[in-house]
Structure 1
Amino acid sequence: MTLEGRTVVVTGAAGGFGSAICQVFAEAGAHVMVSDIDTERAREVARALPSATAVTTDVTDPDAVRELVESTMDATGRLDVLVNNAGLPHLSRKLIDLPVDVVDAQLTMNVRSVFLGCKYAVPAMLGSAGGGVIVNVASIAGRRPRPGLVIYNATKAAVINLTRGLAGELAPDIRVNAVNPVVSETGFIKNSLGVDTLPDKARAHVVAGIPMGRPALPQDVANAVLYLASEPASFLTGVCLDVDGGRSIA
């Protein structure tokens, strides 16, 4: 699945999924625009890749996202793949206990950021290479919601619906797909449960609902993203691929 000569933008690139996604695209020969609000961590990720540029981006800010696309075009003259990976859960609690500002932040971070990425990337894709691929990182929670993360679940369901709707709108010039990961022991755990790693009892409870018997690894998600962006998947658009170890069927 070679992407020699292609340019890939990955948002939220400093996190667990993001850095793994950057790595697989770099190994496939792409130049990777490593985009994150954490400047130093983005630079660390970029330095470890054979061909990469670190870009500081607040994905909730229209001007910042537009500048990300502009800097990509300035650096390489093309934008072939956009991976809208940036996103965050909220602390697990009942919906009635969620502050309104937390809900607003979830919608802004998880839905508005995907809209902004697509809004500014699409014209560049059409203008520079005559097409391209967008891969959004949603969540199996958008299809199989759990209690305690109701608003997070709803934002990821919105990303799934946005993906499918936009795929129809942009075909055949640009393909739009998504991946739906199951829980992974990355920053997601810290942000949703307030702990660095899952306690044994909680981990056993989570894994019990996953037929493959483990949480997702960043590499699992990165491999799926690379496939959806690659030539072997050239007939796939509007696909929201469950990278969930079978949780959606359990």
Structure 2
Amino acid sequence: MQAKVAVVTGGADGFGATITDRFHQESYQVIIIDINKEKGEQKASGSPNIHFLFGDVTQQDTWEQALALARDRFGRLDIVVNNAGITGAQSPVHTKDMGEYERTFNVNVRPIFCSARSIVPFMMEQGKGVFYRFNKWMVGAIQASNDISTGCTRPRPGFAFYNASKAAVSIATKTMALEYAPTIRFNCIAPAVGNTSMLQASIGSGADSQERLQRIEDLLPMKRVAQPMDIANAVWYLATDQSSFVTGTTLEVDGGRGI
């Protein structure tokens, strides 16, 4: 049986690296796109079934290269996981500059547009696909699957346009689910803050880092942060035929934060 193929953006680190591992565990060919060349090459060196593409997901050329790699080497592309994204420092809108605003929408929203432009026509011709996107909830320091955040469903002060970028992804995902059903499914995952290098950078490594972590955990009804495998398992569910009747939804994997 021919192996399925997944593209995971930001697949060299954090949630993306564990999502890559989850698909690899299920015998997928995984193409990771990342701007961190060192970590990307290191991730790909661990298996002949993980393939690293150095590129910027805000650029259309990067997506054309990813599609060409999948099509020419494997003859198919089944899953797109738009995991890459950024947050910013917590502060009210009037203190933000135009550069931060533009970066936020460029990195968090533009790749959804670029990936769909390149890959949707191929999936339509292929007859099946999934897009997924994360909408992340971050501490303030797919079929197609798109990563958003609980900031989209339960916004926090100080992150107005980060939250807005995630809401934009959510409504775009729902709209594309209508536009391309029944051939392609589009869904989002909204994680809570996760145990990744981004969290570690936020809480620091000083004597009070555990206290900072505890304050974050206390915000979550489940009293712990998301582990990368919590998110990877949710992505896997949305990517497989186990969720064949699920499209246009946001799955909150947030320990109850969004309630």
User: What TM-score, normalized to structure 1?
Assistant: 0.92
Quote the residue 2:184 is aligned against.
174
Deviation at 1:156, TM superposition (A): 1.0
User: What TM-score, normalized to structure 2?
Assistant: 0.89
Of the candidates 25, 31, 47, which is equivalent to residue 33 of structure 1? 31
Equivalent-residue separation in structure 1 for 2:95 and 2:159 (angstroms): 11
Unaligned runs of 5+ in 2: 131-143
Aligned to 1:248, the other structure's residue is in SS state: coil
Quote the residue 1:156 is aligned against.
166
Q: 1:8 to 1:51 in 2, by over 3 A?
A: same
Deviation at 1:160, TM superposition (A): 1.1
Equivalent-residue separation in structure 2 for 1:244 and 1:110 (angstroms): 19
1:119-167 CA-partner distances (Å, limit 9, x unpaired): 211112122x311000001111111111122211111111111111111
Aligned to 1:135, the other structure's residue is in SS state: strand
How is 1:30-109 mapped onto 2 (pairs within 5 angstroms)?
30-49=28-47, 51-109=49-107
Equivalent-residue separation in structure 1 for 2:29 and 2:90 (angstroms): 37
How is 1:129-208 mapped onto 2 (pairs within 5 angstroms)?
129-133=126-130, 134-189=144-199, 193=202, 195=204, 199-208=209-218
Deviation at 1:195, TM superposition (A): 4.0
Q: 1:16 to 1:4 in 2, by over 3 A?
A: farther
| Runs of 4+ in structure 1 over 6 Å off | none
Query: How many residues of Structure 1 are paired with residues of Structure 2 in the alignment?
Result: 245
Quote the residue 1:224 is aligned against.
234
Equivalent-residue separation in structure 1 for 2:96 and 2:204 (angstroms): 19
1:200-220 CA-partner distances (Å, limit 9, x unpaired): 333222222211111111111
Equivalent-residue separation in structure 1 for 2:198 and 2:173 (angstroms): 22
Unaligned runs of 5+ in 1: none
1:11 is aligned to 2:12: no
Q: 1:195 to 1:21 in 2, by over 3 A?
A: same
1:11-70 CA-partner distances (Å, limit 9, x unpaired): 111120100000000111110001111122112112223512111120111122222212
Equivalent-residue separation in structure 2 for 1:53 and 1:67 (angstroms): 12
Equivalent-residue separation in structure 2 for 1:219 and 1:124 (angstroms): 30
Equivalent-residue separation in structure 2 for 1:162 and 1:202 (angstroms): 35
Q: 1:224 to 1:196 in 2, by over 3 A?
A: farther
Aligned sequence identity (%): 36
Q: 1:4 to 1:244 in 2, by over 3 A?
A: farther
Q: Which 10-residue stretch deviates more, 171-180 or 117-126? A: 117-126
